[in-house]
Structure 1
Amino acid sequence: MSAVAVLGAGSWGTALAIQLARRGHQVRLWGHNQNHIDALGRDRKNTRYLPDCPFPENIRLSADLSASLTGVEMVLAVVPSHAFASLLQQIKPYIGKTPFMWAIKGFEHGTGRLLSEVFFDVIGSHHAYAMLAGPSFAKEVAANKPTAVTIAASNTALAQSFGQYFHGSAFLCYTSDDLIGVQIGGAVKNVVAIATGIADGLACGANTRAALITRGLREITRLAVALGAQQETLNGLAGLGDLVLTATDDQSRNRRFGLLLGRGENPEIAKQQIGQVVEGEGATFDTWTLAQRLGVRMPITEHLYQILSGQRTLKEAFESLLNRHIKEEQN
């Protein structure tokens, strides 16, 4: 089988490394923190996030980036979205023509650019690339629980070739050539998940949760289509599937962040309690900026932006949403 580099040794990077190793690949799992890598190597598992999932023998750990990339047939990046551009700059001298993939959901923070645009800027649009997205919690993937994801690339044949690395052992890959739709679905569902968490933290009830998920999907679809995505993509795994997962299950750090806010917790304290990057917080600002630029109506996103930026209280935001005028549902 192939030698594969996984760049990023957090919970999600570790889980995907385990899946790749399960498929028989020789996996090089890289992390930037030598102490963290040493701990993973000593324990042969990610004790903090995935304590019940020991590493297969064919996972090798390293904090040496150039060594991790030497001689591999595919590179998978699994770092926070704000670190993506920096990672690309670091690997540029070593990657050559090696196919590159990322399993990251979010925008380039501060610019609102899609991660594909960042990739084209740094590495180039002619390089073989793909993205993995869809409803997939790290703990369940690592535990080999049945999971279905979307692999998106510039064409379905290329997506198929990337999917072959992962497909099997209860991990099902579906392909798409709608990279924009898959990226928007993956990034903006985190925004809706925070809003849904807030509503549940306020004990608004199941009706509210269902309404936020449904209308949130409508907002995600409007934004994606405005950027050139295919509407049906948002009805699939990378849209509806990922949104339902993230907005309803407490394994989601974005939902948990919203729950804590809804219960009156300070945002900074809430993030400390979660102990992992809450991608949806930055994505809220980036999504709202992008929506304004494109003239796309996104009231849930707008109100969450106002909450996180201190312009409205939770009570004021929900009262405003509940006082909206009657509209046609498909608008």
Structure 2
Amino acid sequence: MKKKIAVLGAGSWGSILANLLAENGQDVRLWSHNEEQVKILNIRHENPKYITDFKFEDELKATSDMEAAVKGAQVVLIVIPTKGLREVSGKLGKLLAKLGQQPLIVHATKGLEQNTYKRPSEMIAEEIDADNRQAIVVLSGPSHAEDVARHDLTSVTAACTDLIGAQHVQALFSNDYFRVYTNDDVIGAEFGAALKNIVAIGAGIIHGLGYHDNAKAALITRGLTEIRRLGVAFGANPFTFVGLSGVGDLIVTATSTNSRNWRAGNELGQGRSLDDVMENMGMVIEGVYTTKAAYELSQQRHVKMPITESIYQVLYEHKDVKVAIDGLMQREVTSELE
């Protein structure tokens, strides 16, 4: 049965997920605050700032009016950078109260809030009253928008404490090239999604410095250990981190030129300043902000995260990237199982 779905956020991932849902026969309204972007999407069926050489489904309709997008929606998918998630969720919460709706909420945001260290689902829950929504589902996994746009075979996780909500999302999104698995570990899915961006910056730095596959494999593997350590400290299931929202998302983000976090690290490794990298990227580099939040969390919880600490020093204390990598190799040797 066709569902009315509102998608909030028309960046690369938001617009491609909206298009996927339209391909699946859903009634989709894509919201963006940018009226020119909305006009181009509706007239030319393109989103050239984020996805080049791609035509969106004719049935996909865009709007800059959030109320028009949300009215009557049975599902609301939020795909907003972490920095703007609380503001958009707050507006959505007020709209849902006004309209008297209780949609299922899905989000595909990957990060941690600065200063509070809240995960995306926690921010959404604080901004949208439980009386104005159903469950909150996390959609996460190895899924570059560019690859999904070309129908590359993709598998992701829908995580929700209420598995019925996860199964509903599974049914909405799954098709012959996009496969959705379910999980009840929201904490693990969100920590995996956020922290892999830190490791991706590190992997890019490694490449920019001229190191090769051995170094990349070591960094990714030990980076996954750090992700698991911090996630488990907050109650995550350790097995989640060997799944799609853990090692799967980490592999794709830390090895692909499609990853803006990897590209940012690569440019840092080549000697460019962080300010220049962020100015020229054109899109949010979530890992830069997540590094700060994760480092501060690790200090509070006394969790050993040497890779995260080294990248924090590069990004926020202007430590030389080569010195930072050399420092990781010169640490006191220890057991792999610690």
**TM more than 0.5:** yes
RMSD over aligned CA atoms reads 1.2
Opposite residue 170 of structure 1, the aligned amino acid is Y
Q: 1:173 aligns with which of 180, 189, 205?
A: 180
Q: 1:104 aligns with which of 109, 132, 137?
A: 109
Residue 21 (structure 1) aligned with residue 28 (structure 2) = no
Contact 1:130 1:152 in 2 (8 A): yes
TM-score normalised to structure 1 length: 0.97
Which residue of 1 is the match for residue 168 of structure 2?
Answer: 161
Opposite residue 74 of structure 2, the aligned amino acid is E
Contact 1:195 1:258 in 2 (8 A): yes
**Cα distance in 1, alignment partners of residues 305 and 265 from structure 2:** 18
Which residue of 2 is the match for residue 131 of structure 1?
Answer: 138
Contact 1:155 1:176 in 2 (8 A): no
Q: 2:291 aligns with which of 257, 276, 284?
A: 284
- Shift in Å, 1:119: 1.7
* Residue 311 to residue 46, structure 1, CA distance change in 2 (3 Å): closer
Opposite residue 50 of structure 2, the aligned amino acid is Y
- Shift in Å, 1:125: 5.4
Which residue of 2 is the match for residue 8 of structure 1?
Answer: 9
Which residue of 2 is the match for residue 246 of structure 1?
Answer: 253
Contact 1:287 1:301 in 2 (8 A): yes
TM-score normalised to structure 2 length: 0.95
**Cα distance in 1, alignment partners of residues 154 and 19 from structure 2:** 14
Residue 173 of structure 1 aligns to a residue whose secondary structure is strand
Q: 2:242 aligns with which of 227, 235, 240?
A: 235
Kindly report structure 1 stretches of 4+ aligned residues shifted beyond 4 Å. none
Which residue of 1 is the match for residue 92 of structure 2?
Answer: 91
Which residue of 2 is the match for residue 118 of structure 1?
Answer: 123
Tell me the number of residue pairs that the alignment of Structure 1 and Structure 2 aligns. 331
Which residue of 1 is the match for residue 37 of structure 2?
Answer: 36
Residue 51 of structure 1 aligns to a residue whose secondary structure is coil
Residue 58 (structure 1) aligned with residue 59 (structure 2) = yes
**Cα distance in 1, alignment partners of residues 52 and 210 from structure 2:** 32
Opposite residue 192 of structure 1, the aligned amino acid is V
Residue 326 of structure 1 aligns to a residue whose secondary structure is coil
Moved more, 136-145 or 194-203: 136-145
Residue 181 of structure 2 aligns to a residue whose secondary structure is strand
Residue 151 of structure 1 aligns to a residue whose secondary structure is strand
Moved more, 90-99 or 169-178: 90-99
Per-residue CA distance 1:33-85 (angstroms, 9 max, x = gap): 11221122222111222233211122111000111100111000011011110
In structure 1, list runs of 5 or more residues that go unmatched.
none
